[in-house]
Amino acid sequence: MSLIHYCVVLILILVYSNSALGQDDEVLMLPNERTTLDDCHLRFHKLLATSLPKPAFGHPAHLKEFAHMGAIGWTQPNGTIAWKCGGTLIWDNFVLTAAHCVIDTENQAPDVIRFGDLNIETTEGDEYAQQLKIVAIFRHPQHRFASHYHDIALLKLEHNVTVTEVVAPACLWTDEEVRFKILEATGWGRTGYAEDQTPILLKVALKPIENEECGKVYRNVTDRKLRLGLQPHQICAVDKKMDTCEGDSGGPLQIKLMHNTRVTPFVVAITSFGTACGLSSPGVYTKIAPYHDWIVETMQKNGAMVPNDVYNATFCALRYVSLREYEDAIITSRTPDYVAVDTDRRHMFEVDGLPSYIVQLAWNGETNDCFGVIIDEDTVLTLAQCVTHNRERVSHIIYSNITTIKVSRIHVHPKYEQGSSYNNIAILRLQHFVNENDFDPACIWQDDTPSQEVYVHGSGRRDINRLLYSYDHDNSIDSSITILAPRVRFQNNSSCLIPKRYLPLLRNGLTKEHICSGQNLFLVPKSCDLVTGAAVHEDFYRAGNTYPMVYGLNFLGRECGFGEHSIAIGMANHGEWMKTILFSNYKTSHDTIQFVDTDHQEGDSCHRHDGRPARCVPISRCSRGWKQFLSNGTIELCATSSLACCSLNDIAETELNVIHPQLAGCPRLVENLNITSPRGSLVFIGWLTSKGMELRCLGTIITKRIILTSASCVGDEVPAAVEIEGNSGTQTRYEVDAILVHYAFNATDDTNDIALIRLQDTLVWSSDLFPSCLWTNTTHVPLVLSMVSPDDTGNVGLAKVVAMYNTDCQRTHMYDVQDSQLCARNPFDNFTCNTRSDQLRYDSPSSVSYIVGLSTDFDECEHFRYTVFTRISSFVHWIGMNI
Ligand SMILES: *[C@@H]1O[C@H](CO)[C@@H](O)[C@H](O)[C@H]1NC(C)=O
Ligand SMILES: *[C@@H]1O[C@H](CO)[C@@H](O)[C@H](O)[C@H]1NC(C)=O
Ligand SMILES: *[C@@H]1O[C@H](CO)[C@@H](O)[C@H](O)[C@H]1NC(C)=O
Ligand SMILES: *[C@@H]1O[C@H](CO)[C@@H](O)[C@H](O)[C@H]1NC(C)=O
Ligand SMILES: *[C@@H]1O[C@H](CO)[C@@H](O)[C@H](O)[C@H]1NC(C)=O
Ligand SMILES: *[C@@H]1O[C@H](CO)[C@@H](O)[C@H](O)[C@H]1NC(C)=O
Ligand SMILES: *[C@@H]1O[C@H](CO)[C@@H](O)[C@H](O)[C@H]1NC(C)=O
Ligand SMILES: *[C@@H]1O[C@H](CO)[C@@H](O)[C@H](O)[C@H]1NC(C)=O
Ligand SMILES: *[C@@H]1O[C@H](CO)[C@@H](O)[C@H](O)[C@H]1NC(C)=O
Ligand SMILES: *[C@@H]1O[C@H](CO)[C@@H](O)[C@H](O)[C@H]1NC(C)=O
């Protein structure tokens, strides 16, 4: 390393202002040893806080909820119209209804239909209403008025309706499987025995029930119209509350499906018949699915230009997307003609791609649909079911869709059985680090109580998922796949709705290791596929920043948990197993805890098994005992589980009061000095050369005669003097008396890289000349530290750095990182460089400046994110003995 000539003016340049720290008030402390998985905010600490603006807007609204509902009417001889049945607009000029509605009790056919009118008897809202003549009636060919079967008919209108927000066709549910737990019936239906026609449109929530159960009711009814019992083309539904009647005859039984942050009604069945109202018996409905082809063909044969796939859920939902209602979640307020919405509250977010912490698994070039989450530079969590594909074990991971990294080790949960939904978790270790400089890992949730609402990862067609505003009329088909971030709710075991077809995979039911999440709202089918092995997650605010917190890895569920919920393997329950793999030397067994002297209290002498002299102290003060406990769970205890019988050699020196009084008194001394500048304890150390005084190293004053610096900087040659800058900018030179390099300093691996310089004269403390205090805590260091470094121009720069676990920098360090060393990284740069005499400092809220580390001579800084320092707390005893 070349000699650096420092200019005599010491200027502190604050490289990153404190305002950029965005810290909470708490001082974050990093323990020396890693003992918890809940330390992501420490390991991957970010210094710059971010926030996002929230959009909000409103738009005018009409009553769109019943836009497809029509009232079917019979014009009476005196000119009034009797509204006796309901119908559903399914095409611009076609209405679907029940076959029994095509004649009334007087054998008359209906002749008129009215849409967009909530209150059929009054003129209220009539400006939106459209009334059209019925010009043709198509009853299903197999329907007989003498029976309840095939009770379905189409009505052709005189011309197209004008499609508006309050008059628009519905979609049809064409799947034989009716997966919905609740359906909605609408109609101007009678509400009780009185048989009054209610003037306004009503909706009622109904629960589909099995035909078998429903049939029990109708078996006793001697109804010749139902001689063959209930048929597969019929479904039954009962009022959830079992107290009111089903909807109007001919009206729809429907479900609203979400897409594009809106909902479109899908008609599942047509109201056919029921027993007497108010008797809480099920209504019977004609299912749409078996009649799909008849409906489409009939319309086609009668002049409608209907494509064959007109009722494909995706295409149908997109047809009038811009006219549909917004999903409830985003509506913040509603008046009769205006709704305000906040799209931040929507359930489905289209995102640019999977977050970079989601990695794809690969088998020598092949991929399937398995993913995992990366939790640090070389560790991926995934599902055990994802490890093997076509009998081959996963060989690589793909990070950010570009970087392929080889898997070096695979740890499948030892209790996992092939194909099982239990202990379905695995850890992959990578051969190389993910070397992205903006690497953002996922954090693992370790707590039992998660938030109510979280996000999952899905993928689906762009057209059906994009957010459309009221002024967009973009219903173009775009089958490209986009990544989705659906917002779902945690469900407990009783509210979890698992699709029936997954029950065989969950033979023992849901256990504590599972996370059930989802929404009761259904999506348009095939609009969202869960990403297998991706995360149930949430951005979590912690220590001034947000971190992605992963609750679990998804493995079961369709439509991203909407309507039917999805199941993930939770992280919290597998923490112990993960620690055994992620922490070196971690042992779970606590049975090695031994109480040796149960009647001994703090401070008493005690008897260790190894016979070494020992005393009872709080565990945290027994540095080696604590470390041993963490590594293999062995500890000898006194009266309580927090008192260790600690060998006298192990008791932290600070607790044995060997700390030199001058060092111990430092914080109080400095607090009382009313210091005016933080630089008052920095000195430059100089050597006399032919060119004069050469200031080569930075040192720090720790007592009135002692300067602390690194051995690698001062070398063997005794310096001539140190220079200290006064407040006025004047330099004062103090002659050096002697130098002491640590006896065990090793210039190869830079261990014990510490030296003391003694001055000939004694300093006089003032508000601009004062000591730095030593960081004496042997178990923790402050997470965010300042690195003070002289630069080439002779100024002293101050940069924020973040302390790291030794075990983390050990992964790439060429030598053993000793306990007496400390690693830190510059979070703003890809590398952390230092010179031989940089200092790691911590400025406490009470303005006391502590020296926490001294840099070592590490030449290859341009290859490493971190740099290694001498940990001052390990040398407090040595310093004390030598001052
Ligand atoms: C019209 O005739 C129907 C029966 O045909 C009757 O119920 C209704 O009261 C009459 N309305 C008026 C206004 O005469
Ligand atoms: C009626 O609506 C259909 C479907 O939108 C359209 O294809 C047809 O051209 C319309 N007919 C008239 C006469 O506008
Ligand atoms: C049907 O009739 C049988 C025999 O009369 C009776 O036991 C049963 O309770 C009835 N079921 C219903 C649903 O009414
Ligand atoms: C609708 O059609 C698209 C394109 O052909 C297809 O991918 C999708 O699966 C269909 N949707 C349903 C529900 O069948
Ligand atoms: C990932 O890479 C593939 C092929 O290189 C590309 O087709 C695809 O669009 C990429 N996906 C994303 C999300 O970048
Ligand atoms: C635990 O580790 C310590 C060293 O760290 C060792 O002395 C001790 O024997 C170990 N105990 C057991 C039970 O393995
Ligand atoms: C430091 O400041 C406090 C209050 O501002 C004052 O009481 C005290 O005397 C000052 N100490 C010195 C040494 O100037
Ligand atoms: C200095 O450190 C290196 C690397 O750890 C080691 O090989 C060497 O033995 C050490 N030297 C001494 C004198 O301990
Ligand atoms: C070291 O710091 C930690 C974290 O702030 C604290 O809990 C512990 O008590 C400190 N140890 C000593 C000896 O002061
Ligand atoms: C870190 O490296 C990335 C690419 O490897 C580069 O884009 C970025 O600018 C670098 N950051 C700094 C601060 O040099």
Find the ligand nearest to 623 CA. Answer: 9
Residue among 100, 140, 259, 514 flagged as catalytic:
100
The pLDDT, as a whole number, for residue 561 is 95
Model confidence at 748: pLDDT above 50: yes
Model confidence at 406: pLDDT above 90: yes
Q: Is 746 in the pocket of ligand 8 (CB under 6 A)?
A: yes
Model confidence at 204: pLDDT above 90: no
The pLDDT, as a whole number, for residue 229 is 77
The pLDDT, as a whole number, for residue 134 is 97
Q: Counting beta carbons within 10 angstroms of the beta carbon of residue 609, is it exposed (0 to 12), middle (13 to 18) or buried (19 or more)?
A: exposed
Model confidence at 360: pLDDT above 90: yes
41 is catalytic: no
Q: Of 227-241, 464-478, 795-809, which has the strongest mean pLDDT?
A: 795-809
Question: Which residue's alpha carbon is at the smallest distance from atom 5 of ligand 7?
Answer: 674
**Which of 27-41, 115-129, 570-584, 761-775 is the least confident region?**
115-129
Model confidence at 127: pLDDT above 90: no
Ligand 3 mean position to 220 CA, how many Å?
A: 6
Find the ligand nearest to 781 CA. Answer: 9
Confidence grade of residue 54 (pLDDT, cut at 50, 70, 90): very low
Question: Which residue's alpha carbon is at the smallest distance from atom 2 of ligand 7?
Answer: 674
Q: Is 351 in the pocket of ligand 5 (CB under 6 A)?
A: no
Find the ligand nearest to 315 CA. Answer: 4
**Which of 405-409, 428-432, 723-727, 853-857 is the least confident region?**
723-727
Q: Say whether both 256 and 234 belong to one domain.
A: yes
Q: Say whether both 524 and 451 belong to one domain.
A: yes
Model confidence at 91: pLDDT above 60: yes
Q: Is 526 in the pocket of ligand 4 (CB under 6 A)?
A: yes
Model confidence at 8: pLDDT above 60: no
Atom of ligand 4 nearest to the CA of 175: 13
Q: Is 829 in the pocket of ligand 10 (CB under 6 A)?
A: yes
Q: Say whether both 64 and 182 belong to one domain.
A: yes
Q: Say whether both 452 and 543 belong to one domain.
A: yes
Residue among 151, 463, 753, 808 flagged as catalytic:
151
The one-letter code for the residue type at 832 is: T
> Which of 548, 582, 616 is a domain's end point?
582
Find the ligand nearest to 626 CA. Answer: 6
Quick one: which of 727, 733, 745, 628 has its CA closest to 688? 733
Q: Is 312 in the pocket of ligand 4 (CB under 6 A)?
A: yes
Q: Say whether both 464 and 418 belong to one domain.
A: yes
Confidence grade of residue 56 (pLDDT, cut at 50, 70, 90): very low
| pLDDT, average across residues 575-587 | 81
Find the ligand nearest to 675 CA. Answer: 7
Q: What does the pLDDT look like over 319-359, one tens digit per residue?
A: 999 889 899 899 888 876 677 888 889 999 999 889 989 99
Q: Say which DSSP state 356 is in.
A: T
In a domain, 173, yes or no: yes
Q: Say whether both 782 and 824 belong to one domain.
A: yes
Confidence grade of residue 813 (pLDDT, cut at 50, 70, 90): confident
In a domain, 623, yes or no: yes
Q: Is 353 in the pocket of ligand 5 (CB under 6 A)?
A: yes
**Which of 589, 610, 634, 650 to mutate for ligand 6's pocket (most ligand atoms within 8 Å of CB)?**
634
The pLDDT, as a whole number, for residue 783 is 95
Question: Which residue's alpha carbon is at the smallest distance from atom 13 of ligand 3?
Answer: 217
Quick one: which of 864, 794, 803 has its CA closest to 834? 864
Question: Which residue's alpha carbon is at the smallest distance from atom 1 of ligand 3?
Answer: 220
> Which of 527, 562, 582 is a domain's end point?
582
**Which of 56-60, 215-219, 365-369 is the least confident region?**
56-60
| pLDDT, average across residues 589-613 | 72
**Which of 217, 219, 220, 279 to mutate for ligand 3's pocket (most ligand atoms within 8 Å of CB)?**
220
Query: What percent helix, strand, coil does the chain show, rounded to 5?
Result: 15, 35, 45
The pLDDT, as a whole number, for residue 731 is 80
The pLDDT, as a whole number, for residue 228 is 77
Q: Say whether both 367 and 242 belong to one domain.
A: no
**Which of 650, 655, 777 to mutate for ligand 9's pocket (most ligand atoms within 8 Å of CB)?**
777
660 is catalytic: no
Find the ligand nearest to 676 CA. Answer: 7
Ligand 1 mean position to 82 CA, how many Å?
A: 9
Model confidence at 220: pLDDT above 80: no
Ligand 6 mean position to 623 CA, how many Å?
A: 14
Atom of ligand 5 nearest to the CA of 353: 13
Q: Is 525 in the pocket of ligand 4 (CB under 6 A)?
A: yes
CB-based contact 370:380 (threshold 8 Å): no
Confidence grade of residue 41 (pLDDT, cut at 50, 70, 90): confident
Q: What does the pLDDT look like over 408-438, one tens digit per residue?
A: 999 999 999 998 999 999 999 999 988 766 7
631 is catalytic: no
Confidence grade of residue 448 (pLDDT, cut at 50, 70, 90): low
Q: Say whether both 503 and 392 belong to one domain.
A: yes
| pLDDT, average across residues 387-415 | 94
**Which of 674, 769, 847 to mutate for ligand 7's pocket (most ligand atoms within 8 Å of CB)?**
674
Is residue 87 helix, strand or coil? Answer: strand
The pLDDT, as a whole number, for residue 221 is 60
CB atoms within 10 A of CB 790: 24
What does the radius of gyration of the chain's CA atoms come to, in whole angstroms?
38
In a domain, 18, yes or no: no
Question: Which residue's alpha carbon is at the smallest distance from atom 13 of ligand 4?
Answer: 313
Ligand 5 mean position to 401 CA, how many Å?
A: 6
Atom of ligand 2 nearest to the CA of 159: 13
In a domain, 46, yes or no: no
Strand pairing report for 721-725 and 69-75:
unpaired
The pLDDT, as a whole number, for residue 58 is 25
Atom of ligand 2 nearest to the CA of 160: 1
Ligand 1 mean position to 81 CA, how many Å?
A: 9
Q: Is 27 in the pocket of ligand 9 (CB under 6 A)?
A: no
Query: Which pairs with CB-CB distance under 8 Å and at least 24 residues apart come from 101-109?
Result: 101/72, 101/153, 101/249, 101/250, 102/137, 102/139, 102/153, 102/155, 103/145, 104/74, 108/74, 109/74, 109/134, 109/137
Ligand 6 mean position to 582 CA, how many Å?
A: 20
**Which of 741, 746, 858 to mutate for ligand 8's pocket (most ligand atoms within 8 Å of CB)?**
746
Ligand 10 mean position to 440 CA, how many Å?
A: 14
Higher pLDDT, 232 or 63: 232
Q: Say which DSSP state 529 is in.
A: E
| Mean of all residue pLDDT scores within the chain | 83
Q: 19: which residues sit within 8 A by CB, 6+ positions away?
A: none
Find the ligand nearest to 438 CA. Answer: 10
Higher pLDDT, 238 or 485: 485
Atom of ligand 5 nearest to the CA of 401: 1
The pLDDT, as a whole number, for residue 193 is 35
In a domain, 782, yes or no: yes
Question: Which residue's alpha carbon is at the smallest distance from atom 3 of ligand 9?
Answer: 780
Question: Which residue's alpha carbon is at the smallest distance from atom 7 of ligand 2?
Answer: 305
Question: Which residue's alpha carbon is at the smallest distance from atom 12 of ligand 2?
Answer: 160
Quick one: which of 373, 433, 428 has its CA closest to 865? 433
The one-letter code for the residue type at 881 is: M
What's the angle, vertex CA 355, arms to CA 353 and CA 358, rounded to 5?
Answer: 110
Higher pLDDT, 583 or 472: 583
Q: Say whether both 256 and 299 belong to one domain.
A: yes
Question: Which residue's alpha carbon is at the smallest distance from atom 1 of ligand 1?
Answer: 78
Model confidence at 262: pLDDT above 80: yes
Q: Is 689 in the pocket of ligand 7 (CB under 6 A)?
A: no
H-helix or E-strand containing 577?
helix 575-582
Q: Of 63-67, 173-177, 178-182, 341-345, which has the strongest mean pLDDT?
A: 173-177
**Which of 200-214, 648-662, 795-809 is the least confident region?**
648-662
Q: Say whether both 374 and 298 belong to one domain.
A: no
Model confidence at 860: pLDDT above 60: yes
> Which of 288, 319, 350 is a domain's end point?
319
Find the ligand nearest to 79 CA. Answer: 1
Q: Is 435 in the pocket of ligand 10 (CB under 6 A)?
A: no
Atom of ligand 7 nearest to the CA of 673: 13
Residue among 143, 249, 566, 681 flagged as catalytic:
249
**Which of 609, 628, 631 to mutate for ligand 6's pocket (most ligand atoms within 8 Å of CB)?**
628
Model confidence at 18: pLDDT above 70: no
Q: Is 75 in the pocket of ligand 4 (CB under 6 A)?
A: no
Range of the domain at 725: 661-881
The alpha carbon of residue 784 and the mean position of all alpha carbons in its chain are separated, in whole angstroms, by 25
The pLDDT, as a whole number, for residue 742 is 93
- The two three-digit tokens of residue 150, written as one number: 């095939």
Model confidence at 551: pLDDT above 90: yes
| pLDDT, average across residues 728-751 | 88
Model confidence at 397: pLDDT above 50: yes
In a domain, 7, yes or no: no
pTM score, two decimals?
0.81
Q: 430: which residues sit within 8 A by CB, 6+ positions away?
A: 377, 378, 379, 380, 397, 405, 406, 407, 408
CATH of the domain at 728: 2.40.10.10
Ligand 1 mean position to 684 CA, how many Å?
A: 108
| pLDDT, average across residues 499-505 | 87
Number of structural domains found in the chain = 4
Q: Is 656 in the pocket of ligand 9 (CB under 6 A)?
A: no
**Which of 88-102, 135-149, 711-725 is the least confident region?**
711-725
Ligand 10 mean position to 720 CA, how many Å?
A: 42
Q: Say whether both 605 and 680 belong to one domain.
A: no
Model confidence at 5: pLDDT above 80: no
Atom of ligand 1 nearest to the CA of 78: 1
Q: Of 139-143, 196-200, 660-664, 824-828, which has the strongest mean pLDDT?
A: 139-143
Q: Say whether both 223 and 368 belong to one domain.
A: no
Q: Percentage of the chain with pLDDT > 90?
A: 44
The pLDDT, as a whole number, for residue 206 is 83
Ligand 1 mean position to 791 CA, how many Å?
A: 100
Question: Which residue's alpha carbon is at the smallest distance from atom 9 of ligand 4?
Answer: 526
